[in-house]
Structure 1
Amino acid sequence: MKCYTLLDLQAMERYQRANFVNCLSGFKPTTLIVTQDKAGVSNVALFTNIVHLGADPALIGFINRPKEATPHTLANIESTGFFTMNHVGLNQIEAAHQTSAKYPVGVSEFDHVELTKQLRPEFSVPFVTGSPVQLGLKLADIVPIKHNGTYLVIGELACAFLEESNVESDGFINLAEAGSLTTLGLQGYYQPKFVQKLGYARP
């Protein structure tokens, strides 16, 4: 194995270094976050740095890049207090990837990529039609990360939509069967494959 040092990373071109470091933490969820501004204009953005923070209350967070890099998602959540997370399915890869392009403020990605919004009476912000797992979240907290100017955005789960057949009796959700994808680096997409399920570990 080669030892990649900080000097090796600094010698890489910016995009190469970002891709390399992004891969180091492993496979990540592939998620479309939908927000709305107060005028009702929807923003759709691809996020992969999603983290489970607790089950009671059910908290799910994501890392938002510095405001100057990705301002719309954070601004909309700060403004309205609500957002949705939508797992990306196999037939949505190219459209989901295209949402990472920098569209101007006031322009909805729904109007420019092959994704359609799904309105549900249970929640105020749209979901993504065809997403195998759809989550509605209410803002719980925004935690600035001073070291690099990013933000941990924490949402409290308000509702979840998924096929009941993918939920096992112990609460385990078979996301591979549901069709949720994962991502690696800046542009690699994967279909997870179930390997093994183990029982609750005890001493």
Structure 2
Amino acid sequence: MTYFNLQEINQLEHLYKINLINSCAGYKSANLIATKSTDKKTNVAIFSSVTHLGSAPPLLGFILRPTSVPRNTYENIFETGYYTINHIHESILKDAHHTSAKYERSISEFEVTNLETDYKDNFYAPFVKDCPIQLAMKYVEEYEIKANNTKLIIGEIQGLYIKDNLLQKDGFINLADGNIAAINGLDGYSIPTFKERLDYQRPKIF
């Protein structure tokens, strides 16, 4: 096996190091977070850090990179308190990836891609049309991660929209049936296939 110690990692060429460390954590979720400013300007950006924090209340978190430069997603969430999380599927991979480009606040990523807004039930922020899973989110709190000046943004699910064929009788959502993507590193995309579900595990009795 190839081995890197910490000193070697720190001395790697910049792009190589970024690719290496972004890949070593494993597959990550692939989501579009959509927001709208107080002056009605929409924004949508790709995030690979959305994670489950708890079910009661239903909380999700995501990591925001340092706000020492403009972060339109954060600014809109901070101003309005609302955003949506939309699962990326195979048909929109290239457009979803393009939202990582750094546009000025005055330019909406919806305007420069084929992604379309989708408004539901008078929720303030737009959803991304045709995404198999769409979540209406309300900002709850944030934590500064001092080690690298990032922020953990925590939100509560206000509404959850799931394509009917993905939802099973026990509440399990089969992501594979929606051709939902996962991210490998910064720019590698996979469409996972479903293998099996395993029973809840209890200690063996000897």
TM-score bracket, normalised by the shorter chain, equals: over 0.9
Unaligned runs of 5+ in 1: none
Q: How does 1:31-180 map to 2 (within 5 A)?
A: 31-69=31-69, 71-180=71-180
Unaligned runs of 5+ in 2: none
Q: Kindly provide the amino acid, as one letter, of the partner of residue 66 in structure 1.
A: P
Q: Deviations over 1:65-122 (max 9, x none)?
A: 0013551111111110000000011110110010000001121110111211111124
Q: Deviations over 1:127-172 (max 9, x none)?
A: 0112111111000111111110000001100011111221111111
Q: CA contact under 8 A between 1:176 and 1:193: conserved in structure 2?
A: yes
Q: Deviations over 1:35-79 (max 9, x none)?
A: 111101011110001110000100001000001355111111111
SS of corresponding position for 1:138: strand
The equivalent residue for 1:11 is: 11
- Percent identity between the two aligned chains: 37
The count of aligned residue pairs is 203
Between the aligned partners of 2:123 and 2:202, the Cα distance in structure 1 is 39
Say which is worse superposed, 69-78 or 14-23, in terms of deviation: 69-78
SS of corresponding position for 2:192: coil
TM-score, normalising length: structure 1: 0.96
TM-score, normalising length: structure 2: 0.95
Considering only aligned residues, what root-mean-square deviation do their CA atoms show, in Å? 1.1
